[in-house]
């Protein structure tokens, strides 16, 4: 019996009735709510793709003050800049000359990233600036024009203590005082001859850039009253572009010799045939003029000439002797050192620095001993007549008179408040 029942159930199972009956008696639970599949993880970077360019470093800006013997090559090496950039700049037409001959103390402006130059600026003069910038095609250099505007001014002054104080008190600057002293230096010793109540009138140019004062420009005309004697000068630029100073009647103010070979020093001992010598303790002629000045003050050649001797010489210490035309010899003693290139046989020009003040030889302090000899005879450097330079050329005389007349007229015009104010 039991066997028959098992066989019947098996048969029903084969017919599908058993699974249907079971499903009716025990229904399946509803399917669970479907959850969204997890977000796909970001794809791993492709190790075969080329990396992007690294970010550029920040630019460095610096100003370099030119030291002695500095060159751009040396400065590039100090800053670890790529010398190829310097070579590329030098190769640009007309730029090389603006990169050479750096001036001691001038400031150079650099912009760079690592070893790569991004920018460079150099002030060539008051009118021009060299500017270098890096663009898509590399470094590009150009010279920018910075034109100066000139304004004419006339001032008057009376000397109470010094020329500098009188000039600045009248509203000008030290440069105009220096310019006036240079103009009249052949007639007036601005160390020995200046006296209180001496007076001056000067017309000059003030130079501005973008409305900002830069410096005093050249003197155009000047009058100087020294110990009751009046000296006048006017600047004339001839048709060939040469600028010189003349008297109103066309005589050159330039003399063949300077009156004094050191600027704005003090006379400590004059030409004297019976001076008491402070070291030898005896009466001994002083056949020159002593100019007391700080150690190292530049000494200038009084005139064009040739170095006859440069070296030590007894009581003179270190000395330079110059031979000039017309049998004139000038002597410069007690020097601390000689300027570069000063040796026997060398040629020098008037105003050229030949040596520096010292106290070598028989000297109690730093000063210059200066002698002026004519045909071997000692002359007083302060009073000896100095030979004139050439007057205005005859072919330029009419042009000179036409151009100088309005300038000389400014010395006579009253000074209004607009002319003496800044």
Number of neighbours of residue 270 by Cβ within 10 angstroms: 14
Within 8 A by CB and 6+ apart from 161, the residues are 196
Question: What gap in Å lies between CA 391 and CA 253, rounded to an integer?
Answer: 9
Rounded (10°) angle between helices 2-14 and 17-25: 90
Lowest mean pLDDT among 264-273, 286-295, 398-407: 264-273
E strands in 210-288: 212-226, 229-237, 243-246, 266-269, 272-277, 282-286
Give 393's pLDDT tier (boundaries 50, 70, 90).
confident
For the cut 60, the answer to whether the pLDDT of residue 312 exceeds it is: yes
Percent of the chain, pLDDT > 70? 79
Closest CA relative to residue 322, chosen from 272, 370, 381, 274: 370
Mean pLDDT of 66-86: 93
Please answer whether residues 320 and 332 qualify as being in contact, where contact means their C-beta atoms are separated by less than 8 angstroms: yes
For the cut 70, the answer to whether the pLDDT of residue 338 exceeds it is: yes
Closest CA relative to residue 257, chosen from 391, 393, 340, 381: 381
State which fold the 60-145 domain adopts: Nuclear Transport Factor 2; Chain: A, (3.10.450)
Q: Do domains 60-145 and 148-255+389-422 have the same CATH topology?
A: yes
> What's the pLDDT tens digit per position in 344-359?
999 999 989 999 999 9
Average predicted confidence (pLDDT) for the chain:
83
Number of neighbours of residue 320 by Cβ within 10 angstroms: 26
Question: What gap in Å lies between CA 350 and CA 338, rounded to an integer?
Answer: 16
For the cut 50, the answer to whether the pLDDT of residue 24 exceeds it is: no
Strand partners, 290: 269, 369
- How do the residues of the chain divide into helix, strand and coil, expressed in percent and rounded to 5? 20, 35, 45
> What's the pLDDT tens digit per position in 98-151?
998 899 899 999 999 989 999 999 999 878 899 999 988 899 999 988 888 889
Report the CATH number of the 266-379 domain.
2.70.70.10
Closest CA relative to residue 233, chosen from 160, 183, 270, 187: 183
Q: How many CA atoms lie within 13 A of 359 on its CB side?
A: 9
Mean pLDDT of 180-207: 89
Mean pLDDT of 82-102: 91
Q: What is the assigned CATH class of domain 148-255+389-422?
A: alpha beta
Q: Where are the domains of the chain?
A: 60-145, 148-255+389-422, 266-379
For the cut 50, the answer to whether the pLDDT of residue 280 exceeds it is: no
Give 336's pLDDT tier (boundaries 50, 70, 90).
very high
The pLDDT of residue 422:
29
């Amino acid at each position: 019996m039991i066997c028959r029942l098992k066989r019947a159930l098996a048969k029903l199972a084969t017919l599908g009735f058993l699974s249907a009956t079971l499903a009716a008696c025990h229904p399946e639970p509803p399917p669970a709510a479907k959850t969204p599949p997890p977000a796909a993880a970001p794809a791993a970077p492709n190790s075969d793709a080329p990396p992007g360019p690294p970010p550029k470093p920040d630019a460095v800006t610096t100003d370099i003050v030119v030291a002695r013997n500095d060159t751009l090559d040396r400065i590039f090496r100090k800053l670890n800049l790529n010398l190829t950039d310097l070579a590329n700049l030098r190769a640009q037409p007309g730029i090389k000359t603006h990169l050479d001959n750096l001036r001691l103390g001038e400031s150079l402006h650099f912009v760079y990233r690592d070893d790569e130059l991004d920018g460079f600026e150099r002030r060539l003069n008051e009118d021009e600036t060299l500017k270098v910038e890096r663009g898509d095609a590399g470094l590009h250099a150009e010279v920018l024009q910075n034109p100066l505007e000139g304004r004419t001014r006339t001032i008057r002054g009376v000397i109470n203590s010094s020329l500098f104080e009188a000039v600045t008190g009248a509203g000008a600057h030290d440069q105009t005082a220096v310019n006036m002293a240079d103009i009249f230096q052949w007639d007036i010793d601005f160390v020995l001859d200046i006296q209180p109540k001496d007076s001056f009138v000067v017309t000059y140019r003030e130079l501005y850039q973008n409305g900002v004062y830069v410096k005093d420009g050249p003197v155009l005309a000047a009058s100087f009253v020294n110990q009751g004697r009046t000296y006048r000068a006017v600047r004339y630029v001839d048709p060939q572009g040469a600028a010189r100073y003349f008297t109103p009647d066309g005589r050159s103010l330039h003399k063949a010799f300077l009156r004094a070979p050191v600027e704005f020093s003090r006379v400590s001992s004059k030409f004297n045939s019976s001076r008491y010598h402070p070291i030898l303790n005896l009466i001994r002629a002083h056949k020159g003029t002593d100019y007391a000045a700080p150690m190292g003050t530049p000494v200038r050649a009084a005139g064009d000439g040739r170095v006859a001797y440069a070296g030590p010489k007894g009581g003179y210490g270190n000395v330079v002797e110059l031979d000039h035309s017309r049998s004139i010899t000038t002597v410069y003693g007690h020097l601390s050192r000689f300027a570069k290139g000063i040796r026997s046989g060398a040629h020098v020009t008037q105003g050229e620095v030949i040596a520096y003040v010292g106290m070598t030889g028989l000297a109690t302090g730093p000063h210059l001993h200066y002698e002026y000899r004519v045909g071997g005879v000692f002359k007083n450097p302060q009073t000896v007549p100095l030979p004139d330079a050439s007057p205005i050329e005859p072919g330029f005389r009419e042009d000179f008179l036409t151009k100088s007349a309005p300038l000389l007229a400014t010395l006579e015009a009253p000074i209004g408040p607009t002319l003496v104010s800044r």
